[in-house]
Amino acid sequence: MTVEAFRFVAVIGTLDTKGPEIAFLLDSLRALDLETKLVDLGVLGDPQIDADVTREAVAAQAGSSIRELRADTRDKVKAVTTMGRGAISILEEWLAEDRLVGVISLGGGVGTWVATTVMRSLPLGLPKIVVSTLPFDVRPHLGARDIVVFPSVADVLGLNPPLRTILRQAAAALAGMAAVPLPAATGRPLIGMTGMGITTPAVLAVREILESDGYEVASFHATGLGGRAFEEWVGMGMFPAVLDLTTHELTDDLFGGTGATGDVRLENATRMGLPQVVAPGGLDIISRGPVETLSRTERKRPHYRHSPFFTHVRVPESGMRRVASRLAGKLNQGDGPIVVAIPLKGFSDQARAGGQIHDPEADAAFSETLKSKARKNIRIVEIDAHINDREFAVCICHLLKDVTKI
């Protein structure tokens, strides 16, 4: 058997700036009986250690050359992006040959950025680890991929006892992950669902009902990053149908709440024509920061502290009409089977009678506007229950099974 026939983990990094640290990581991986392939993503300085895949080979894979990338000294981002594209192509070839069993990288700002870019192109279940100085909030850069981040604590600028410890632990984590076989497919339909703390009882009830009926459920936390991940999974074709129970991010997108997604919500399922059951979970509140940060206008509206870090502010009647118009505009873009289920006794936990943001007039304005704006073949079902009542969960599960036919 040739060396090329072995299965291995890929180590990616910039060997002009992180050579000794990457060499230590390689030794740590090999001490755990892992075969490795080192991919050099450096551009400017000379490599400090030898690579299995040179920077010249990576640039060529992206249709460029190191000379060309070095010549344009004004645009470092272009050079790094090109090297990332070349690395993606190489790793995808190894995947297609069933030789790649994991990927690991280490670095600072640029290294973390290019590593997460490469890893987002790789499939769910393939072990992926980034050892990072965390120079920025990396969560948006992880996307909907299972990338594990190890904070380096100390900067990655020379080996020292704390960094050696972190690198050894990262290597051991990758070895453990690579040794675990992927679970066999169950053959049960996987339904994508959205939830939040304010709709958790509904999420739990729906999960129980659907699982007892032979489905599986993947839930996403509808607080911004979760909604973007949900949309990405929908776009990848992970679900035959979705139950978008908690569409709260649509409100935050409209009014600048903390859970804004960049207006990507309710796009992919509609575009793809997937069967959908949609509910207005959390559409009645805007998520803000600590209560002390509320504006004078927001303080006058009904609001409550969800936690020390988040305050939920009630959307007034005029805002609910805007939200309904936006929801209709999103759903009207497609022609697939869609049911909107509206709980008449409240859209979130504190919106029921006696709750801190109970406002049936504003909710009625939402329903009225949605009915007038939605295309005629979108079915709108009003249910005389609160969103967290089990009765509502039973109804939307029946609606889902009816609309999906699976």
* pLDDT tens digit sequence for 179-210: 988 788 788 999 999 999 999 999 999 999 99
pLDDT of residue 6: 67
Instruction: Give the CA dihedral 71, 74, 80, 81, nearest 10 degrees.
Output: -110
Contact 393, 205 (CB under 8 A): yes
Cα–Cα distance, 295 to 288 (Å, whole number)? 10
User: For the chain, which domains are there?
Assistant: 3-179 (3.40.50.12020), 190-404 (3.40.50.12030)
pLDDT of residue 73: 64
Q: Span 103-122, mean pLDDT?
A: 92
Lowest mean pLDDT: which of 50-64, 142-156, 241-255, 285-299? 142-156
Cα–Cα distance, 149 to 144 (Å, whole number)? 14
Lowest mean pLDDT: which of 38-42, 151-155, 340-344? 151-155
Q: Residue 271: which pLDDT band, with cuts at 50, 70 and 90?
A: very high
* pLDDT tens digit sequence for 65-101: 999 998 876 778 889 999 999 999 999 999 999 999 9
* pLDDT tens digit sequence for 357-372: 999 999 999 999 999 9
Judge whether residue 5 has pLDDT over 70: no
Instruction: Give the CA dihedral 364, 369, 374, 376, nearest 10 degrees.
Output: 80
* pLDDT tens digit sequence for 40-50: 999 988 999 99
- Specify the pTM: 0.83
pLDDT of residue 3: 36
Contacts of 275 (CB under 8 A, 6+ apart): 240, 241, 242, 336, 337, 338, 400, 403, 404, 405
Cα–Cα distance, 324 to 315 (Å, whole number)? 12
Q: Span 219-223, mean pLDDT?
A: 95
